[in-house]
Amino acid sequence: MTLARAIEIVKADTIVAPPNGQVELSGCFAADLMSDVLAFARSGALLITGLTSDQTVRTAMIKHLPAVLIIEGKDVGVEMVEAAREQEIAVFRTPLSKFEACGLLMQAGLRAARRSGAYPA
Amino acid sequence: MDERSIGHFEFPILGRAYFLGGRASTSVKKALREAGVDDDTVQRVAVACYEAEMNVVLHARSGYVSVDVYPSRVDVAISDRGPGIADVTKAMTPGWSSASDEARALGFGAGMGLPNIKQQSDLMSLESEPGQGVVLRLTFYRGGGNGAGS
Amino acid sequence: MAPDRDETTVRHMAEALGLTVLAGSACLDRPIHGALVSDLLSYVMASGRAGDVWITIQTHANTVAVAALASLAAIVVAAGFEPGDDTLSRAEEEEIPLLMSSQPAYVLAGRLFELGVR
């Protein structure tokens, strides 16, 4: 699924546009704990999170996640926007809850992008 | 230490500067990429550095990350000035955390930091001097690593 | 109180999603009124509504306390994370069904959504 299609499904608005136009997503990862993202996210995934901090975009950058979807129309601070521009991470915001956003994207066929395996190794 | 370092980088970390947390690690990632280190190794180093950096940000006054690139490995040392870790064994237990609510609100402090670092690295040593600080030394073998980054 | 015929219960969810029941098995006939996916306890304290299922990777005993305070229907621990004994006994005590799955939170949310939970 393309990033543009996913964004359309969850009726999100664009906070920071993707720098490279068309992006194909590897899947989706929903999390609020950045340690969870750092340990288990697959590269190329859309990150759905309720955490609106610059940590979110730095974590996305470290894990090669092209875009972050903020839920419930939460305020996105200027630090996060600046970090996103600097790290070239797209940021979107949906009015939906994380549950609804996951539900709609799964229904539309976007698969999970979580590395399997017990934790910790 | 039979090989000669072919690249050395250092980046400072400010304790309590939550909004800057992760800056040193993103800089490490860029520097390693530019040094031509393979993606899997870069990824593992970056993830471990990020967790270690957040530990410094959340618990210490200041610190720095130092990175040495060798033909066959990457060595990383994260040193801080701070309270140290009272019980290293406890700190290594998944789910155990002494982090504040503030840290948890940032999405860290869930007790996954040190276990994550251990998982990403090939060698890990942690020296803590109570009241002085912590030195965390990590080694990542290039190429034939543990695959945790993929 | 007997649930409506067409209402999803915790038991129905457990069967449909293949969840393992860890604690609170006496309370599986509770109806599900909604769901939330979060790993931030403060968020659940603020936004959890009575009858919600909470999907999370948090396994701390405090999650049970939060669920009890907000009168949630159940906690589903995702991604193969395993709650400890203190969390399990707390769940029995507070009568909060505690379930687990190896599936990621994203997938569990998707499948619960598919069951018609909103």
Q: Could you read off the pLDDT of B29-86 as tens digits, one per residue?
A: 999 999 999 999 999 999 999 999 999 999 999 999 999 999 999 999 999 999 999 8
Asked if residue B149 belongs to a domain, the reply is no
Question: The CATH number of the domain where B23 resides is what?
Answer: 3.30.565.10
**pTM confidence score:** 0.89
Asked if residue B148 belongs to a domain, the reply is no
Look at residue C16 and tell me whether its pLDDT is greater than 70: yes
The domain made up of C10-114 has a fold known as 3.40.1390
Asked if residue B150 belongs to a domain, the reply is no
Residues 6+ apart with CB under 8 A from C95: C24, C26, C27, C68
Q: Which residue of B has its CA nearest to A57?
A: B22
Diameter of chain A by CA atoms?
38
Does the beta-carbon distance from B107 to A79 stay under 8 Å?
A: no
Note the pLDDT of residue C60.
86
Boundaries of domain holding B69: 7-141
Note the pLDDT of residue B111.
82
Across the range C50-78, mean pLDDT stands at 93
Note the pLDDT of residue C1.
47
**A103 CA to chain B: closest CA distance, Å?**
23
Residues of chain C with a CB closer than 8 angstroms to some CB in chain B = 39-42, 58-60, 84
Across the range A17-41, mean pLDDT stands at 93
Nearest to B146 by CA among B113, B121, B124, B125: B121
Q: How many domains does chain B have?
A: 1
Across the range A106-111, mean pLDDT stands at 98
Note the pLDDT of residue B31.
96
Flag whether residue B102 sits within 8 Å of chain C, measured between CB atoms. Answer: no
Give residue-wise pLDDT tens across range A38-58: 999 999 999 999 999 889 999
Domains of chain A: 3-107 (3.40.1390.20)
Q: Is residue C87 within 8 Å of C61, Cβ to Cβ? A: yes
**B96 CA to chain C: closest CA distance, Å?**
9
Across the range A11-34, mean pLDDT stands at 94
Could you give the ipTM of this predicted complex?
Answer: 0.95
Work out the pLDDT band at C69, boundaries 50, 70, 90.
confident
Give residue-wise pLDDT tens across range A86-101: 999 999 999 999 999 9
